[in-house]
Structure 1
């Protein structure tokens, strides 16, 4: 599997991992890591438990295999999500054109699977996988319900999906924004 900028990396297709218990808990709890809310998020909000998350983390963060999730689009502007597993530098990279997505762009990509291409096709999976790319602070009033419906569609409990959706959106709106035209504070510029 080739992804520009990751030529020498041990990339492996990751789409099959999305159906495993604990995937959504592991992927989405990372968004809530800042601890900015009074209510502590738990894996059960997203349909998993701690044991599921631990087991899947061993796979997602294996330095020998970097899972890649491809989200193709009709216009060719798809997104690639890479679990970067460098020793001491683990993270999730989102490879796309631009610096983030508006709510409208996120919904367009989620709702436009390219069935003739390999990659993530389910609209709920696409929405939740790319949710961390949302940089639009002005989302419609229907956004929490849309996210809650996606959480339920991937196996999240109906009773916690609305709370989880609001929590995710709150964390996205509180995080610091980065303008890609700014010079790096480490560059000496």
Structure 2
């Protein structure tokens, strides 16, 4: 798994191409989903462990594996429009976190639309875009995985709705959640440790942007993507079709 532009952002002595490895094996590991959310958007360990009916030791073991500096697990999601979204556990000793990348069909390029932990940037996706990406999968189990995999970069004032909570509740149950499931779904759409829910809008150029202060998808933010990149992101995430 190689993403040249992404790798170029690290010191020369960090062999990113060899560190990044397919993380799909984690999707079936008990404790992965609890670890995924505790690593990024939530800090109430007892609550999140309870949602999936797991003990702290089991979830901590998965967290340790996900954050091992010797391997950077990456999860690819095919966008069906000539590109993919990649979630990378950036286990860099000096600046660890989770990056959300959009990779066009030309894998030499990529755009980071969100990152959690450390110098966080986000939100990176709106609720309609999240639905468009997950909706591209017909298998309910895979659709649930995709939805929950990328939901940590969600931030949308419109997402806190009964319909959204219902969809996430179903996805959580399909991934093994057994307790306080609806409450967990509500927290996913309405609360995030890193940023407040943002308002989303379409620019004159057709880019879907937000007003998140630290979002690459806010043209006014310090980490803003260029206009052409904002348009490319919108197209890759299905924004052009809505």
Check 1:61–1:152 CA distance in 2 against 1; reply closer, same or farther (3 A cut).
same
Instruction: Compute the TM-score of the two structures, normalised by the length of structure 2.
Output: 0.64
Distance 2:168 2:58 in 1: 22
**Is 1:81 aligned to residue 120 of structure 2?**
no
- CA contact 2:144–2:175 (8 Å) conserved in 1: yes
Distance 1:153 1:75 in 2: 26
* 1:28-55 Cα deviation digits (max 9, x unpaired): 123113x7xxx97331213433112111
Question: What residue in structure 2 maps to residue 112 of structure 1?
Answer: 136
Which protein has greater RCO, CA pairs closer than 8 Å, 6+ apart? Answer: 1
Question: What residue in structure 1 maps to residue 168 of structure 2?
Answer: 147
- CA contact 1:111–1:123 (8 Å) conserved in 2: yes
Question: What residue in structure 2 maps to residue 17 of structure 1?
Answer: 26
- Structure 2 gaps of 5+ residues are 9-14, 103-110, 114-123, 197-211, 224-242
Instruction: Compute the TM-score of the two structures, normalised by the length of structure 1.
Output: 0.81
Task: Let me know the Cα RMSD of the aligned residues.
Answer: 2.6
| Aligned partner of residue 64 in structure 1, secondary structure | coil
1:18-167 aligned within 5 A: 18-29=27-38, 30-33=40-43, 41-96=47-102, 99=113, 100-113=124-137, 122-139=142-159, 140-157=161-178, 159-167=179-187
How many pairs were matched up?
174
Check 1:114–1:142 CA distance in 2 against 1; reply closer, same or farther (3 A cut).
closer
Distance 1:162 1:135 in 2: 18
Cα shift at 1:98: 7.4
- CA contact 2:131–2:147 (8 Å) conserved in 1: yes
Distance 2:170 2:58 in 1: 22
Find runs of 4+ consecutive structure 1 residues off by over 4 angstroms.
none
Distance 2:182 2:162 in 1: 13
- CA contact 2:24–2:75 (8 Å) conserved in 1: yes
